[in-house]
Amino acid sequence: MNEQSRLAVLGAGHVGPVIARLAVKAGHPVAIATSGDPEKIRLITELVIPGAQPRWSREAVADADIVVLAIPLHRFGRIDPGLLDGKLVVDAMNYWPASDGALEAFEHGGSSEIVARRLAGSTVVKALNHIGYHELEDRARPAGAPDRQAAGVAGDDPAAVATVAGLASRIGYDPVRLASLRAGRVLEPGGPVFGTVLPLPEFERAVREDSRSLV
């Protein structure tokens, strides 16, 4: 897949619009959707994410090559897994009890592994969750820029990981591939790269030295 691949971003809160804007800038056709009527986010889309299309989630997902989940994790349970059947899903959500409250369903194991179990018909890749929404756009740089930073991409399906790594690269980050969702726990809150922005060598070192990456 390339910059022609179509994105559906689910979520128009803190994170979704930032990812959508970066993807528009990278040349992707982008649709953005919430759980409700796209008319409710038309103004937001026009002014904050110019170039993206507000759509009903079902239609946005049906036409998408990549679906980005950028909703609060506590609302994930309301999503119909059937909606995402057969899709490549980027999980940009976080389980972060100190900030968002505890969720029983996410107390044990990596959050993306739990997401993937529920979305059994989808291919889930964990990415774009560990750089703060307030920095994600500001720190993005084209490939080869001396101050380009790294972004982790974790998943069990190597082809899907490669696709999302391509997306991460086009929106402005050197992708660091992690060979499983289990290994992607290193990207979670409390991990060595969460909330911080690091260039490739430092990112790789931080991930390597963390016990969570030992599968």
* Closest approach of other proteins to the CB of residue 1, in Å: 28
Selected binder of other proteins within 134, 142, 201, 208 (CB under 8 A): 134
- Our finding on whether 96 is near other proteins (CB under 8 A) is yes
Rounded distance, CA 167 to CA 152, Å? 12
DSSP string of 54-107, one letter each residue: E--HHHHHHT-SEEEE-S-GGGGGGS-GGGGTT-EEEE-----HHHH---GGGS
Q: Is 177 helix (H, G, I), strand (E, B) or coil?
A: strand
Q: How many helices (H) and strands (E) does the chain have?
A: 8, 8
Residue 27 or 36: which CB sits closer to other proteins? 36
Which of the ranges 61-69, 98-106, 154-162, 163-171 carries the binding residues for other proteins, by CB under 8 A? Answer: 98-106
Residues β-bridged to residue 149: 173
DSSP string of 4-61, one letter each residue: TS-EEEE--SSSHHHHHHHHHHTT--EEEE-SS-GGGGHHHHHHHSTT-EE--HHHHH
Q: At 20, give phi and psi (nearest 5°).
A: -60, -40
Selected binder of other proteins within 31, 41, 176, 183 (CB under 8 A): 41
Binding mask 61-90 for other proteins (x = CB under 8 A): -----------x-x----------------
* b/e 145-156 (16+ beta carbons within 10 angstroms → b): eeebbbbbbbbb
* Closest approach of other proteins to the CB of residue 120, in Å: 24
- Our finding on whether 133 is near other proteins (CB under 8 A) is yes
* Closest approach of other proteins to the CB of residue 83, in Å: 21
- Give the number of C-alpha atoms closer than 13 A to the C-alpha of residue 85, restricted to the C-beta side: 3
Footprint on residues 151-190 left by other proteins (CB under 8 A) = 189-190
- Our finding on whether 202 is near other proteins (CB under 8 A) is no
Which of the ranges 107-115, 128-136, 147-155, 178-186 carries the binding residues for other proteins, by CB under 8 A? Answer: 128-136
Selected binder of other proteins within 98, 120, 214, 215 (CB under 8 A): 98
* Closest approach of other proteins to the CB of residue 43, in Å: 6
Q: Is the distance from CB of 164 to CB of 126 less than 8 angstroms? A: no
- Enumerate binding residues for other proteins (CB under 8 A): 12-14, 17, 40-41, 43-44, 47-48, 72, 74, 96, 98-101, 103, 132-135, 137-138, 189-190, 194-197
